[in-house]
Amino acid sequence: MKKLSMFWLFAGKRTKMGQQVCREISAYLISWYTFVSVEFQRKPRHLVCVCKYKSNDYRELLMYIGPVVFKLLHDKVYSNFLTFHVAARLLSSPDSCQTYNEYAGELMKNLVSNFKLIYGEECVSYLIHGCLHVHLDVQVHGPLEEYSVYRYENFLQKLKSLVRKGEKPLQ
């Protein structure tokens, strides 16, 4: 999700959204602020702050808010994002991760092949290629929600407070 949002805002020559679209999407994100449940660690922020987003912010965009707020993107880009959204939802749900695992794998293959066409083959990185194998990890380890970093990201601050100096962590 981070890589996609960076392409949309900064890097993608073919897919970079205009400032007006960025403002509209950001305004729409901010309008969701009052509707976001307390179960979410963070409230939606402007897209300009995307460099400072935490994994929970990206998760919220991918799994919940993104399909609604990113409708202003180009049709091919939005369709590719929706493919990613559906695959991620299927692989994250304990109820559907095993039943629809093969279908999610096909969606990920579709995502990567369309990614090459939309963003350019030079933009396909190891991270994008890794999407092809996520459904296999889900077969072995269970739903993405069981072993993802989302739960532990906010606990990291407590662990960092236990470390006195960076060069002497055990002291």
Whether the per-residue pLDDT at 166 is higher than 70: the answer is no
The b-or-e profile of 83-110 (16+ CB within 10 A means b, else e) is bbbbbbbbbbeeeebeebbeebbebbee
Q: Please, where are the H alpha helices in the chain?
A: 2-6, 19-31, 55-60, 66-69, 75-92, 101-119, 126-130, 134-141, 144-147, 150-153, 156-162
| Single-letter code of the amino acid located at 151 | R
Whether the per-residue pLDDT at 168 is higher than 70: the answer is no
Q: Between these two residues, 72 and 13, which has the higher pLDDT value?
A: 72
> pLDDT tens digit string along 35-47?
776 666 677 778 8
DSSP conformation class of 18? P
Confidence of residue 25 (pLDDT cuts 50, 70, 90): confident
> pLDDT tens digit string along 69-123?
899 888 999 999 999 999 999 999 888 888 899 999 999 999 999 998 988 888 8
> pLDDT tens digit string along 108-139?
999 999 998 988 888 888 888 888 999 998 88
The per-residue pLDDT for 110 is 94
